[in-house]
Structure 1
Amino acid sequence: MDLITLTGEPWADYGLIDSGHGRKLERYGRFRFIRPEPQAMWAPASAQWDAHAEFLPGSDEEGGGRWVFDQPVPRDGWPLSWREVRFTAQNTPFRHLGFFPDMAPVWDWMRGQIDGIDQAECMNLFGYTGVGTLALSAKGARMTHVDASKKSVAEAKENAALSGMTDRPVRWMIDDAAKFVAREVRRERRYDGIILDPPKWGRGPNGEVWKLEEGLPALVADCRKLLDEKSRFLFLTVYAVRMSALAIGELVRQHFADLGGVVEAGELAVREEARGLQLPTAIFARWRRD
């Protein structure tokens, strides 16, 4: 299986300004932030970075850390946009800013896959704050948005309101993704497309424990049962560095062998504005109809 790279390019409200020495400097609207980035093993283009805040990681490699602010930033967030979608960016305790900008080329790709379908049925598993959900909804898809976090689903609904999409057909589900998909299989539901962005580890709303290496094969198998010969895509992203794109690509290929189509795998990356280099962020596997 040949590996490919999907590279996110800068846009008006986001850009990777510079990277190096294990950190990255990004702009989110009018604000600039420094965050840890182990993949940035090279030297940065500039020795001096001017940022509003920096996230300092904790001693535990699995998490921890805090934001240190040098200049004022709205603690309740500020509005950004991608295409027709408006959403709130915010400094979270988990070093993120409320969305994942490296997913921009994925949103474009998925929108292209549902071209020509009237009210495509799509599902966003581990949907977080809903930017991917709204990107597909803006193209006419009927969406099912699933996340175990009540707070994340509430933020997704707020982003829908910001985008003027409160009247769009979206099912907002606060649920454990694996259990929800298993129930959809029993209900004999079908979808035209599924995007899943599972964390390395997590808990469901009722204390369910999710471990990526243990749960992913069964989840992909159940997602396959929700797609048929008329379906258009499945897109899986993985941020766990100990996994390989070849491994998840083969997992998807085996489960989708009977459905035909094309399976591809590779890396997500963001293009740096300073030098044009590509900073890798995640691995992915995807299935699409020919």
Structure 2
Amino acid sequence: MILLTPTLHTDYELLDCGNFEKLERFGSYVLARPEPQAVWDKSLTDAQWNDQAHAIFSRDKGSQEKGNWRLQAKMPERWTFSYATPLLALKAKLALSSFKHVGIFPEQAVNWDYIADITRTMSVDKPTVLNLFAYTGLASLAAKSHGADVTHVDAVKPVITWSRENMELSGLDGIRWVVEDALKFVKREVRRGKKYNGLILDPPAYGRGPDGEKWLLEEQINELLGLCALLLEKDNYFFVINLYSLGFSALILDNLVESHFGKIMNYQSGELYLQDSFAKKLPLGVFSRFSDISV
């Protein structure tokens, strides 16, 4: 079991975290927002946070999810994030949502790099990659950047539109967009006998499909992974899954993956984290990934 954190962000920095909040820089703008895993004390004072933050998120009374942003005058509604490494040159539109999210999860950069490295190394001309619960699409763009034929599935139509904008910002094209419940889509692909070289999953703890389908991680993840095992090619393959749910450990994910995929090559699992400027490590979910290609 390993711990992974990105090392090459230039447009992102975790400045401080604690007291159930995190202070982050995205490009030129600093945001303060809730973080349930930051149970320790802040390193900076509240006054220092307020002086630095261009936007501060506060939850609505009685809500665990929705809320509002308090903005400084110089804070735009939208701005652009860049991620550049020797393997990737991605851009994404960021925006302040009523659910505290901004459009990317920066800790996932370790998986963007992994997906890019695996995809470029495959001995097939155009690997087929399926991204489920795909949100605004940085993982889709990582695969597309190295020639993959990408199918991007998300249940929220405006998020698909956002993903398309990120594709265009990154100078890419040709991704297949699907607005559908992920489990329903996978069941249909299995019936069709479809196969993919790469599977990427980032399922939420709970959610709704476009037709009101109910998703509960603990009730449906076992079924979903069983179906995904039927979709994955036997050669030139990779699999990546992330879970951000306080009730799920990496050991649970290990058991699920190993029970459905059998003999696994080059297997990695553990926690993703970000380190703030005071060296505090903020855990941000568990992951599992494997491939028959060693990178």
> What is the DSSP-based 3-state SS (H/G/I as helix, E as strand, rest coil) of the residue aligned with 2:147?
coil
Superposed CA deviations along residues 93-119 of structure 1, whole A, max 9, x for unmatched, are 110111111100011112222232222
1:10 Cα offset (Å) = 5.5
Structure 1, unaligned stretches of length 5 or more?
none
Change (3 A) 1:148 1:43: same
- Does the aligned pair in 1 maintain the 2:116–2:145 contact within 8 Å? no
Match of 1:280 among 280, 283, 286: 283
Counterpart-to-counterpart distance in 1, 2:168 and 2:217: 32
Query: Could you tell me the TM-score, scaled by structure 1's length?
Result: 0.93
Equivalent residue number for residue 254 of structure 1: 259
1:266 Cα offset (Å) = 1.0
1:122-161 to 2 correspondence within 5 Å? 122-161=129-168
In structure 2, what residue type is equivalent to 1:56?
S
1:173-188 to 2 correspondence within 5 Å? 173-188=178-193
Match of 1:21 among 16, 19, 22: 19
User: Bigger shift: 228-237 or 240-249?
Assistant: 228-237
**Percent identity for Structure 1 against Structure 2:** 39
1:171 Cα offset (Å) = 0.8
Match of 1:100 among 105, 111, 115: 105
> What is the DSSP-based 3-state SS (H/G/I as helix, E as strand, rest coil) of the residue aligned with 1:134?
helix
1:216 Cα offset (Å) = 0.5
In structure 2, what residue type is equivalent to 1:208?
E
1:45 Cα offset (Å) = 2.6
Counterpart-to-counterpart distance in 2, 1:114 and 1:138: 9
Query: Could you tell me the TM-score, scaled by structure 2's length?
Result: 0.91
Superposed CA deviations along residues 48-105 of structure 1, whole A, max 9, x for unmatched, are 2210111112344641222111343212x11111121111011011101111111000
CA RMSD of aligned residues (A): 1.6
**1:34 partnered with 2:32:** yes
Superposed CA deviations along residues 227-279 of structure 1, whole A, max 9, x for unmatched, are 1320421111111101111011110011111x44243321111121x123321
Count of aligned pairs between the two proteins? 283
In structure 1, what residue type is equivalent to 2:128?
E
> What is the DSSP-based 3-state SS (H/G/I as helix, E as strand, rest coil) of the residue aligned with 1:165?
coil
**1:271 partnered with 2:275:** yes
Change (3 A) 1:65 1:218: same
Match of 1:237 among 237, 242, 252: 242
Structure 2, unaligned stretches of length 5 or more?
none
- Does the aligned pair in 1 maintain the 2:115–2:139 contact within 8 Å? no
Equivalent residue number for residue 233 of structure 2: 228
User: Bigger shift: 52-61 or 262-271?
Assistant: 52-61
Equivalent residue number for residue 192 of structure 1: 197
Equivalent residue number for residue 209 of structure 1: 214
Superposed CA deviations along residues 14-56 of structure 1, whole A, max 9, x for unmatched, are 1111112221110011000001112222232322221011111
Counterpart-to-counterpart distance in 2, 1:7 and 1:261: 22
Counterpart-to-counterpart distance in 2, 1:231 and 1:208: 33
1:53-68 to 2 correspondence within 5 Å? 53-60=55-62, 62-68=64-70
Counterpart-to-counterpart distance in 2, 1:269 and 1:249: 18
Change (3 A) 1:9 1:61: farther
> What is the DSSP-based 3-state SS (H/G/I as helix, E as strand, rest coil) of the residue aligned with 2:251?
helix
Counterpart-to-counterpart distance in 1, 2:233 and 2:143: 19
Counterpart-to-counterpart distance in 1, 2:107 and 2:62: 25
Equivalent residue number for residue 5 of structure 2: 7
Counterpart-to-counterpart distance in 1, 2:175 and 2:255: 32
